[in-house]
Structure 1
Amino acid sequence: MLIHPQFDPVAVSLGPLSVHWYGLMYLVAFLQFWWLGRYRIMHHAQISQAGWTVQQLDDLLFYGVLGVIIGGRLGQVLFYEPGHYLTQPLEILAVWRGGMSFHGGFLGVLLAMMLYGRKNGRNWLEITDFIAPLVPLGLAAGRIGNFINGELWGRPADPSLPWAMVFPWVDHVPRHPSQIYQAGLEGLLLFIVLWMYSSHRRPRGAVSGVFLIGYGVLRWVAEYFRSPDAGIFGLSYTVSMGQWLSLPMIAVGIIFVIVANRQRS
């Protein structure tokens, strides 16, 4: 049975300036997005033939950063902890402490991509198909940040499980390190699936659909190992807030894949 190392949330301190691990993980996420995007532009013929350039990637990253941070924070406030932030509104700005909702960030990015597409005359699904394979490893980095912060711990686990972990500030019950599970499922596994799937020419909307289905299903599975959040819809032991929010992603993803393949045929 393992014990969480209880990392110092501050990675580097330079006088009055403190750099938090959680913030560094977001920096890693944005950098890998940029690097993988450059790779796709330079090595995938269908991407370069669609007219994507590194300059456009830079612009996309700017829009995406705003969507992730604003949407992710507002999603945490509205979906998961409305009561807390209603009494402590200034804490909404304290993003370095953690507390970012994937589903909120996802909606923020979708809106940002719509604005980018309208400004640059690109189809929205063309944009989401391009960025979908660039996202999962960034999600993995965020989950590692959750682990370092010691937040979003898992449900109680069998003490005989070799990697069961005690989070001492919660209790002395061995738990699943669900942050690591999510980094592996929604991060690494989803990245491998999407990268391989998008390496061949696909009809418009298909890659986006596979992302939605893949994330929704893997998040649904991971939620059974994570201590569920009550959220604004209340708490059910069998269906958590994260699972409720994943259901429409799966449904829309299936529709995208069906429509995309019908158009190709």
Structure 2
Amino acid sequence: MNFPQIDPVIVEIGPLALRWYGMMYLLGFFVAYLLISHLSRLRGLPLKRDDISDLIFYAVVGVIVGGRLGYVIFYNPLHFLSHPLEIFAIWTGGMSFHGGLLGVVVAAVWFVHKKQLPLLLTGDILVMASAPGLGFGRLGNFINAELWGRTTDMPWGMIFPGAGPLPRHPSQLYQAVLEGLVLSVVLYILHRRQARAGVPLFTFVALYGLFRFIVEFFREPDAHLGLLWGGATMGQLLSLPMIAAGLIGIFWCRKKQV
């Protein structure tokens, strides 16, 4: 199956271009705003309209700073030690979800402290609001024909431009379904059932780690890293602590409120 020829640029006016990848991020932020507004009312979190905008701003800064530093530290530290100014060249690509998650955690803790809000409940709502954006982002990766999967003989294998003549797993779509759709549905059900504070947050951590660990078996490893300890990828090694932390967190939240 040949990759569908999708122009990554939606519209171009002079030097300005609106790209599908950027549009996916904008869509993710818009949906996040709506979800935070809805869930704040549903769960009784006292957030005003300006507070929601501030929370999203803090989260975006956390994603960008944490995602870039995570990529620098986890994926290519020697290169950036030799070329430190390239750390700031985020337009050239290179972001880490796991680093971005840590960045959001730091930003959210700062926001919660500043606004005197309940930490776990705010985290519950923030991860629910971010899940659709993860799915949109993976769709953007697919449209850009990047982060493709390993070679396969399955009938839905796809020949990506720049990835050689062999069909590959469309692993971006696997991640879009698991990280975006499935994760969103699970978290929303927990919120509708008024799950104990912290349970949606740690469920997100555990399930994302699990989904990412599974999809890494189908995703092409980073070329400059390849397979690491025990044949695992860097994404899998970073996901294992997430699974453990998520399960421990769920157990702790349920036990402390019995």
Task: State the TM-score, normalized to the length of structure 1.
Answer: 0.88
How far the C-alpha of 1:148 sits from its partner, in A, is 1.6
In structure 2, the partner of 1:28 is: 27
1:255 aligns with 2:254: no
* Greater mean deviation of Cα atoms: 16-25 or 92-101: 92-101
* Greater mean deviation of Cα atoms: 186-195 or 19-28: 19-28
Gaps of 5+ in 1: none
1:205 aligns with 2:204: no
In structure 2, the partner of 1:244 is: 237
C-alpha distance in structure 1 between counterparts of 2:23 and 2:238, whole Å: 27
How far the C-alpha of 1:251 sits from its partner, in A, is 1.0
In structure 2, the partner of 1:184 is: 177
C-alpha distance in structure 2 between counterparts of 1:23 and 1:155, whole Å: 26
1:72 aligns with 2:71: no
Counterpart pick for 1:147 among 137, 142, 145: 142
Counterpart pick for 1:128 among 97, 109, 123: 123
C-alpha distance in structure 2 between counterparts of 1:205 and 1:232, whole Å: 35
Aligned to 2:217, the other structure's residue is in SS state: helix
Aligned to 1:55, the other structure's residue is in SS state: helix
How far the C-alpha of 1:21 sits from its partner, in A, is 2.6
Contact 1:230 1:241 in 2 (8 A): no
1:107 aligns with 2:106: no
Pick closer, same or farther for the CA change 1:192–1:131 going to 2, 3 Å.
same
Contact 1:203 1:261 in 2 (8 A): yes
C-alpha distance in structure 2 between counterparts of 1:84 and 1:152, whole Å: 20
* Greater mean deviation of Cα atoms: 67-76 or 92-101: 92-101
1:216 aligns with 2:215: no
How far the C-alpha of 1:14 sits from its partner, in A, is 1.9
Contact 1:203 1:263 in 2 (8 A): no
Contact 1:219 1:242 in 2 (8 A): yes
Counterpart pick for 2:49 among 46, 54, 63: 54
Contact 1:139 1:187 in 2 (8 A): yes
In structure 1, the partner of 2:14 is: 15
* Greater mean deviation of Cα atoms: 201-210 or 181-190: 201-210
The one-letter code matched in structure 2 to 1:24 is M
Aligned to 2:192, the other structure's residue is in SS state: coil
CA-to-partner distance for each residue in 1:64-108, whole Å, 9 max, x for gaps?
A: 111111211222222223345455555544444543211111011
> What is the Cα-based RMSD across aligned positions, in Å?
2.2
Aligned residues: 258
